[in-house]
Amino acid sequence: MAQGIRIKMMDKDIELNSPGNMLAKNSVKSVLLLPDDAVVSMWCEVDGRRKFCRMNETGTAFFLPNG
C-alpha cells in the first residue's frame, strides 16, 4: 500500500505517494525542481519529534518511518 508523503520547502507544499518505505532522492529533486547537484536531506515527524531520515548505502534513496 502506498503511503502519502508531504514535502515542504519554503513556499512549496507537495504530496507524493511512495509504494514502500523508501523515497528516491531524484524524485524529491524532480518534484521540487532542484538541480542535479543540490544537496538534499529529509526529516520526518514521529510522535511530534523530528527524526532525520537515513539513506541507503548508495545515497540514492531515503528510508521512511513505518506507518
44 in a structural domain: yes
62 in a structural domain: yes
- pLDDT tens-digit readout, 17-58: 777 788 889 988 988 889 989 999 888 888 888 888 899 999
pLDDT at 60: 93
* HEC string for the chain: CCEEEEEEECCEEEEEEECCCEEEHHHHHHHCCCCCCCCCCCEEEECCEEEECCECCCCCEEECCCC
12 in a structural domain: no
pTM: 0.75
1 in a structural domain: no
- Counted domains in the chain: 1
DSSP 48: T
